[in-house]
Amino acid sequence: MSRDVLAAVREYRGTHGWRLLSEFAELLAIDNDTRDLEALGRNARAIATCFRERGAEMDVVERAGCAPLVVGRYAAAADAPTLGVYVHYDGQPADASSWHSPPYRPELRTYPDGRVVPIPGPGDPIDDDWRLYARSAADDKAPLIAILGAIDGLRAADLPPYLNLVFCFEGEEESGSPHLREYLETVRERLRADAWLICDGPVHQSGAPQVVLGARGYSGFELTIYGPVRELHSGHYGNWVPNPALALSHVLASFKDEHGRVTVQGFYDDTRPPTPAVLAALADLPAVEDALLHDLGLATAEVPGGRLVNQLMTPSLNIRGLSAASVGEDRRNVIPASASASIDIRLAAGDDPTRMLRLIHEHLAGLGYHVLDREPTDAERREHPRLARIDAEPGYPAARIPVETPIVTHLLDASARASGQPVVTMPTLGGSVPLHHFAEVLEAPAVILPIANADNSQHAADENIRVGNLWYGIDLWSVLLGTPWPGPTHDTHR
Amino acid sequence: MSRDVLAAVREYRGTHGWRLLSEFAELLAIDNDTRDLEALGRNARAIATCFRERGAEMDVVERAGCAPLVVGRYAAAADAPTLGVYVHYDGQPADASSWHSPPYRPELRTYPDGRVVPIPGPGDPIDDDWRLYARSAADDKAPLIAILGAIDGLRAADLPPYLNLVFCFEGEEESGSPHLREYLETVRERLRADAWLICDGPVHQSGAPQVVLGARGYSGFELTIYGPVRELHSGHYGNWVPNPALALSHVLASFKDEHGRVTVQGFYDDTRPPTPAVLAALADLPAVEDALLHDLGLATAEVPGGRLVNQLMTPSLNIRGLSAASVGEDRRNVIPASASASIDIRLAAGDDPTRMLRLIHEHLAGLGYHVLDREPTDAERREHPRLARIDAEPGYPAARIPVETPIVTHLLDASARASGQPVVTMPTLGGSVPLHHFAEVLEAPAVILPIANADNSQHAADENIRVGNLWYGIDLWSVLLGTPWPGPTHDTHR
């Protein structure tokens, strides 16, 4: 049966793929900076409309001061199993000046030579290796079009869906999902499902499809070190007034050594070691390191010879930005008044986000810093030789389900059928998604089901989706929707 | 005689001070970013016009691709001694967003309460403590209006000048004076003088006027450390891909320890120790440290208890800016592709700027860095685990004349008369001015004669001149112009 489904849907996208690409480009043209509530509202309404047009019941749930949560249901039969589908429709901020085409003006280009191709019309050929460039083309609007395309394909071939789907489309993922839990608690009854699929992230760097059993957690903070109350002439005061950029450099160097080891006391203490099943899955993963180093223009990994996947099983501390006065053309001969670093911590299974931030505080206190969560007063400046400010994002913990969870086997099968390739079982995504809410609030296992190409430049300039990966997503969703699944009631492990 | 001059000029500025302030505001309204050649040309022509209107012969000397040098002569009598006057008319770049009023829209405000006052008209009272805010109000257009005001005052009182003045107004000082030497070599014969007054910088932090015998030299560089060829998702790659912001922090921390000591090998080796006369001058300087720490909102100096002036006698290494990806509201969860620091080195007497930059190269090589002066190729990225780029500004050496130079005594006397206060003999300015060219090309001693208030926010936002300091400048130039000076031929030390 699934072969019929696949053949039918492939025929459909062969003739109607241009229409799906056009619909996707329209969705990507709606700017979705995670900080812009007004823009996020426009995205939520447009997405709800797309699903309503396919017969889904959709609801844009609003809360004052938050991006809406889009919830919905696409029904097969009352006794069919139900899968939950999570997608986020917000995007990271985009600095247009570093993009080759504007982030919210989708552009189709050949790859790797980068020739611009018009968005195809009926009958135009479409190459699997072309890329569609726009913010959120990969992260994370692509799964929306994959599901919409699968629904269209099944309906065009008059094939029935065997599953109920419930939808949860978030608009605050790139802001750290600050209201997701409260939202889920409000709509819990409408989101009952046998398992949740978190549709986000890329396939394996080897190009193999993957099913991912967990994700790293997340916390982050902005660190500011204070110098003089105003910028000073570096000649008249250099050597006498303490320089906050130098102090920040010493602090950052004290966080992590040059061998890739975080030197904040206790940083690795709570991390849960991998089980034998997880170690086996890790050992089975294709080696991608040499190709990745070549592609990324690197001579070695941070820990020379270290495998990428093993490094994802421990927490990371990453400097995601630095700023003090100006560099380059805009440089001024000053002692900066302050210096800032933005840092994210990725948590492995077992790590507690609040505890991690406490360790950072303790580390700074150990260096003699007086740490505030606001601007210092004049009196505080004059009292404390070492003065810092931390603005913390508490974030959320990592989550990981066992390899043996029954939905996992079903997804591995579906993915292998849709792709025609061996599929990777990945114990954890390096990135963070708030999986733990699904276990805790919705009481269902959550699995990550990525479709984007690994080199999608997610979060950076020139984000893109490979057309072939979009087709894989449509095929995968056709198989899932168009194939009976006995559901978790047949699960002997549960 | 000088008492008559002073009384006459003070009477003049009592009734005509408003006009000088207006003329100054017009000069400050001409934007003068040191990188903007077109704007600098407008400044040069406007300044030449101001001096021509007072009877000086002025010439705007142009060179392709350079800011013009304004040279000129204000003649007393053929046999009178001649003083050279150096001023620079370009300003540091100004980031308007951090100013209280736009940098090129001069605004007069009360101090310290900051009430805006209209630029005065005839008969309006003017308070010495008011401040005029604009880029280059202090650094370095103020001396222009001091000289213009002195010429006006003497002419209004029909008092003769006793000196010839030759002018050299530069437009590239804030860019490191890259063409000053070539310019001076071209116009050397027109700039013969018995001594040069470098009119730049602030009076002593105690408020006492000062005569400064030298300045620190300058060199600087932009340091970039390379990471992956593009920004990467910090979740998917954090812990595996080396972070260039962390590497930069380790490098910067290795430049200077937390006790204020530069740890680049050989950094202090060439610095000339102060002579006994210099040590005596240093010992005589008023203590300003406690008041400065209070004003700057600092608990301690970089070297706790260190005197500011002593720290100026050694070379400094200052981080004037940091940049990598984004911080704060614009932060993105990425591993940056590169991280940059902008650094200036202030040189003490004896230090060679080119050697200092060589020491930095050697230091980086000692840390295992492959150092380029351009972007790396893909092959270089893949070959070198530690890859850096240095863009160097060679700069120029420090200079210092002996305390016993005869013009120094004359300037100390004139300054004491004009200010009615004890005057400070300062062995060196902390800042840098290219004094050495005057000794080498024009074969004359060069002395720095500052008039600006010490808290003028030079190079930073809200740069300002205290009105009383402008008046001091006018008085000082009236005494210098209106009083006979026997000239250096009477110098027994020379």
Give pLDDT tens digits for A380-427. Answer: 999 999 999 999 988 889 999 988 888 999 999 999 999 999 999 999
Q: Does B176 touch chain A (CB under 8 A)?
A: no
For A220, B60, B346, B448, B451, the CA distances from B149, given in Å and listed in that order, are 58, 21, 34, 20, 14
Residue B475 near residue B421, CB atoms below 8 Å: no
Q: Which of B234, B282, B356 to mutate to test the interface with A (most CBs of A within 10 A)?
A: B234
For B16, the token pair is: 């005509």
Q: Compute the average pLDDT of residues A212-239.
A: 94
User: Which has the closest alpha carbon to A165: A449, A494, A462?
Assistant: A449
- Position A458 scores a pLDDT of 86
Residue B428 near residue B213, CB atoms below 8 Å: yes
**Alpha-carbon gap, residue A69 to A182, rounded angstroms:** 11
Of B316, B321, B335, the CB nearest to A336: B321
**Alpha-carbon gap, residue B489 to A404, rounded angstroms:** 99
Q: Does B232 touch chain A (CB under 8 A)?
A: yes
- Decide if A330 and B461 are in contact by the 8 Å CB cutoff: no
Give residue-wise pLDDT tens across range A180-209: 999 999 999 999 999 999 999 899 988 999
- Decide if B381 and A299 are in contact by the 8 Å CB cutoff: yes
- Decide if B231 and A325 are in contact by the 8 Å CB cutoff: no
Residues contacting residue B466 through CB under 8 Å, at least 6 positions apart: B111, B128, B129, B130, B131, B452, B453, B456
Residue B308 near residue B205, CB atoms below 8 Å: yes
**Rg for chain B, CA atoms, rounded:** 24
Q: Does B231 touch chain A (CB under 8 A)?
A: yes
**Alpha-carbon gap, residue A85 to A196, rounded angstroms:** 6
Strand partners, A475: none
Q: Which of B267, B322, B330 to mutate to test the interface with A (most CBs of A within 10 A)?
A: B322
3-state secondary structure of B463: coil
The residue among A2 and A73 whose pLDDT is bigger is A73
Residue B232 near residue B334, CB atoms below 8 Å: yes
- Position B246 scores a pLDDT of 98
For A327, B220, B394, B396, the CA distances from B358, given in Å and listed in that order, are 21, 12, 10, 14
Residue A192 near residue A167, CB atoms below 8 Å: no
Q: Which of A218, A249, A462 to mutate to test the interface with B (most CBs of B within 10 A)?
A: A249
Per-residue three-class SS string for chain A: CHHHHHHHHHHHHHHHHHHHHHHHHHHHCCCCECCCHHHHHHHHHHHHHHHHCCCCEEEEECCCCCCCEEEEEECCCCCCCEEEEEEECCECCCCHHHCCCCCCCCEEECCCCCCEECCCCCCCCCCCCCEEECCCCCCCCHHHHHHHHHHHHHHHCCCCCCCEEEEEEECCHHHCCCCHHHHHHHHHHHHCCCEEEECCCECCCCCCCEEECEEEEEEEEEEEEECCCCCEEHHHHCCCCCCHHHHHHHHHHHHECCCCCECCCCCCCCCCCCCHHHHHHHHHCCCCHHHHHHHHCCCCCCCCCCCHHHHCCCCEEEEEEEEEECCHHHCCCEECCEEEEEEEEEECCCCCHHHHHHHHHHHHHHCCCEEECCCCCHHHHHHCCCEEEEEEEEEECCEECCCCCHHHHHHHHHHHHHHCCCCEEECCEEEECCCHHHHHCCCCCEEECCCECCCCCCCCCCCEEEHHHHHHHHHHHHHHHHCCCCCHHHCCCC
- Decide if A381 and B331 are in contact by the 8 Å CB cutoff: no
**Alpha-carbon gap, residue B226 to B385, rounded angstroms:** 9
3-state secondary structure of B155: helix
Q: Does B96 touch chain A (CB under 8 A)?
A: no
- Which chain B residues in 311-330 lie under 8 Å from chain A, judged by CB atoms? 311-312, 314-316, 318-330
Interior angle at CA A455, CA A453 and CA A457, nearest 5: 110
- Decide if B327 and A231 are in contact by the 8 Å CB cutoff: no
User: Which has the closest alpha carbon to A142: A32, A43, A21, A316?
Assistant: A21
3-state secondary structure of B364: helix
- Which chain A residues in 343-382 lie under 8 Å from chain B, judged by CB atoms? 344, 346, 378, 381-382
For A76, A151, B308, B318, B357, the CA distances from A164, given in Å and listed in that order, are 5, 12, 75, 64, 69
**Alpha-carbon gap, residue B447 to B486, rounded angstroms:** 17
A182: distance to nearest CA of chain B, Å? 24
**Alpha-carbon gap, residue B485 to B494, rounded angstroms:** 16
Q: Kindly tell me the sign of the dihedral angle through the C-alpha atoms of B37, B41, B44, B50.
A: negative
Q: Is the pLDDT of residue A490 over 70?
A: no
Q: Does A236 touch chain B (CB under 8 A)?
A: yes
Of A232, A300, A459, the CB nearest to B385: A300
- Decide if B238 and A334 are in contact by the 8 Å CB cutoff: no
CA dihedral B50, B55, B57, B61 (to 10 degrees): 0
- Decide if A297 and B346 are in contact by the 8 Å CB cutoff: no
- Position A115 scores a pLDDT of 96
For A443, the token pair is: 């009481």
- Position B76 scores a pLDDT of 83
Of A314, A325, A346, the CB nearest to B320: A325
A347: distance to nearest CA of chain B, Å? 9
Q: Does B390 touch chain A (CB under 8 A)?
A: no
3-state secondary structure of B381: helix
- Start-to-end CA distance of chain A, whole Å, equals 28
Give residue-wise pLDDT tens across range A129-166: 999 999 999 999 999 999 999 999 999 999 999 999 99
- Decide if A385 and B460 are in contact by the 8 Å CB cutoff: no
- Position A237 scores a pLDDT of 93
- Which chain A residues in 56-85 lie under 8 Å from chain B, judged by CB atoms? none
Give residue-wise pLDDT tens across range A304-315: 988 998 999 999
**Alpha-carbon gap, residue A38 to A407, rounded angstroms:** 37
Q: Does A248 touch chain B (CB under 8 A)?
A: yes
How is the beta sheet containing A464-466 ordered, strand by strand?
Answer: A116-117, A107-109, A131-133, A464-466
Helix (H) or strand (E) run with residue B417 in it: helix B406-419
Q: Is the pLDDT of residue A2 over 50?
A: no
Note if the bond before A4 is cis, omega within 30 degrees.
no
Q: Per-residue DSSP letters for B182-211?
A: HHHHHHGGGG--SEEEE--SB--TTS--EE
**Alpha-carbon gap, residue A275 to A405, rounded angstroms:** 14
- Position A489 scores a pLDDT of 59
Q: Kindly tell me the sign of the dihedral angle through the C-alpha atoms of A371, A372, A373, A375.
A: negative
- Position B489 scores a pLDDT of 59
This model's pTM is above 0.90: no
φ, ψ for residue B19 (rounded to 5)? -70, -40
- Position A75 scores a pLDDT of 86
Biggest alpha carbon–alpha carbon distance for chain B: 80
**Rg for chain A, CA atoms, rounded:** 24
Residue B328 near residue A222, CB atoms below 8 Å: yes
Helix (H) or strand (E) run with residue B492 in it: none
- Position B491 scores a pLDDT of 42
* Angle between helices A2-28 and A406-419 in degrees, nearest 10: 80
- Decide if B344 and A234 are in contact by the 8 Å CB cutoff: yes
3-state secondary structure of B257: coil
The mean pLDDT values, 10 residues at a time, for chain B of 494 residues are 80 96 98 97 98 97 97 89 97 94 97 95 95 98 98 95 96 92 96 95 92 94 97 92 98 95 97 91 92 96 90 95 95 95 96 97 98 98 98 91 90 96 92 87 95 92 97 97 79 36
A294: distance to nearest CA of chain B, Å? 7
Note if the bond before B112 is cis, omega within 30 degrees.
yes
Residue A424 CA from chain centroid, whole number: 19
**Alpha-carbon gap, residue A486 to A478, rounded angstroms:** 17
- Which chain B residues in 428-457 lie under 8 Å from chain A, judged by CB atoms? 429-432, 457
For A286, the token pair is: 């294709």
Q: What percent of chain A has pLDDT over 90?
A: 87
* DSSP classification of residue B452: B
The length of chain B, given as a count of residues = 494
Q: Which amino acid, one-letter code, is at B321?
A: G
Give the position of tokens 């690994």: A454
Q: Does B263 touch chain A (CB under 8 A)?
A: no
Chain A positions in Cβ-Cβ contact with residue B93 (cut-off 8 Å): 326, 330, 332
Give residue-wise pLDDT tens across range A326-357: 999 889 899 999 999 999 999 999 999 999 99
A317: distance to nearest CA of chain B, Å? 7
Chain A positions in Cβ-Cβ contact with residue B290 (cut-off 8 Å): none
- Decide if B243 and A318 are in contact by the 8 Å CB cutoff: yes
3-state secondary structure of B419: helix
Q: Does A18 touch chain B (CB under 8 A)?
A: no
